[in-house]
Amino acid sequence: MTTRLYHHPVFAEHLTGPGHPERPDRMRAVAAALEAEAFQHLDRAEAPEAPLAAIYRCHPESYVRRIAKAIPDAGMARIDGDTVVSPKSFSAALHAVGAACAGVDDVATGAVANVFVAARPPGHHAERDTAMGFCLFNTAAIAARHAQAVHGLERVAIVDWDVHHGNGTQDIFWSDTSVFYASTHQMPLFPGTGAKDETGAGTICNAPLSSGDGSEAFREAFESRVLPALHAFRPDLVIISAGFDAHHRDPLANINLVEGDFDWATGKLMDAADRHAGGRLVSLLEGGYDLVGLGRSVTAHVGRLMAG
Residue 308 is predicted with a pLDDT of: 84
Gap between the Cα atoms of 42 and 38, Å rounded: 9
Q: Does domain 3-307 match CATH 3.40.50.300?
A: no
For residues 106 and 4, the answer to whether their CB atoms sit within 8 Å is yes
Strands 84-85 and 77-78, bridge-based pairing:
antiparallel
Taking the mean position of all CA atoms in its chain, how far away is CA 151? 20
Residue closest to 179 by CA, chosen among 196, 160, 204, 162: 204
Residue 13 is predicted with a pLDDT of: 98
Does the active-site annotation cover 125?
A: yes
Gap between the Cα atoms of 106 and 33, Å rounded: 23
Residue 291 is predicted with a pLDDT of: 98
Residue 58 is predicted with a pLDDT of: 98
Long-range contacts of 263-267, Cβ-Cβ distance < 8 Å, separation of 24 or more: 263/300, 263/301, 263/303, 263/304, 264/219, 265/161, 265/218, 265/219, 265/222, 266/240, 266/300, 266/301, 266/304, 266/305, 267/304
Which parts of the chain are beta strand (E)? 3-7, 43-46, 77-78, 84-85, 114-117, 156-160, 179-186, 204-209, 237-242, 281-285
For residues 126 and 117, the answer to whether their CB atoms sit within 8 Å is no
Other beta carbons within 10 angstroms of residue 202's beta carbon come to 10
Residue 206 is predicted with a pLDDT of: 98
Amino acid symbol at 97? V
Gap between the Cα atoms of 240 and 140, Å rounded: 8
Among candidate residues 7, 14, 95, 125, the one labeled active-site is 125
Question: pTM score > 0.85 for this model?
Answer: yes
Total residue count of the chain as it appears in this document: 308
| Dmax (CA) of the chain | 49
Contacts with 210 (C-beta within 8 Å, 6 or more apart), sequence order: 186, 187, 217
Per DSSP, the residues of 174-189 read TT-TTEEEEEEEESS-
Low-confidence ranges of the chain (pLDDT < 70): 1
Question: Cα dist. 94→54, 86, 164, 283, 294 in Å?
Answer: 10, 14, 23, 17, 23
Gap between the Cα atoms of 254 and 239, Å rounded: 25
Other beta carbons within 10 angstroms of residue 275's beta carbon come to 13
> How is the chain split into domains, by residue range?
3-307
Contacts with 141 (C-beta within 8 Å, 6 or more apart), sequence order: 58, 123, 158, 168, 169, 172, 173, 179
